[in-house]
Amino acid sequence: MIFVLVLRAWRGAKFKAQRTKYKVQENIMALSLNNLKPAKGSVHKKKRVGRGPGSGLGKTAGRGEKGQKSRSGYSAKLAFEGGQMPLQRRLPKRGFTNIFKKRWLEVSLAALDRGFQANEEVTPELLHNRGIIKKAKHEVVVLGNGELSKPLRISAHRFTKSAREKIEKAGGAVTEIDAKVGKVA
């Protein structure tokens, strides 16, 4: 009896050593296109339904007995709650969308300082061309975020008070564009 226990302990140690040796070998192997494989247990066999009672998914193929969901061609309608009034219809309507809402494109002084050289002219079209704003069709407002280290001649639709002060302090010029006409005011 003692001999059997010792043999089992020895076998267990032997198998454990083999497993660790295998893991070390697995870690050493370089990852390349010819030895890619999914993680163990992540890939399952396709569920084959309707292939006899031995499979556990024969006859009704896991769909139950009767009803709309058991028929072929059934696809659930989005947000369908079985005939109950759906959530998007139970909740009240609220508010409206203002189609005349004014959109401002905000530009910080720090972005202008990074994107332009000293004594350069700054316009919304130039801001768009340099990728500082996405679209030139909306009105541009210059914010006082950051510092301006060089003089710039900036044309925009609106300036915050701190931005105007910082631009003039750096020796630059501020020009407001009239939005309705699109000309310099």
pLDDT at 18: 58
User: In the prediction, which pLDDT does 14 show?
Assistant: 57
Q: Which residues contact 72 (CB under 8 A, 6 or more apart)?
A: none
Give me the pLDDT at residue 11, please: 58
pTM metric for this prediction: 0.51
Mean pLDDT by 10 residues, the chain (185 residues): 52 57 59 92 93 93 93 91 94 94 92 92 92 88 93 94 94 88 57
Domain ranges of the chain: 139-185
Give me 184's structure tokens.
């310099």
Domain 139-185 has CATH 3.90.1300.10: no
**pLDDT value at residue 142:** 95
Q: What is the pLDDT of residue 137?
A: 83
Helices (H), 30-183: 87-90, 109-115, 124-129, 161-169
pLDDT at 178: 84
pLDDT at 170: 93
CA distances from 85 to 89, 113, 131 (A): 7, 56, 48
Residue ranges with strand state E in the chain:
104-108, 121-122, 139-143, 153-156, 158-159, 173-176
Whole-angstrom Cα distance, residue 73 to residue 55?
Answer: 24
**What residues form DSSP beta bridges with 6?**
none
Q: According to the model, what pLDDT value does residue 30 have?
A: 85
Quick one: pLDDT at residue 65? 94
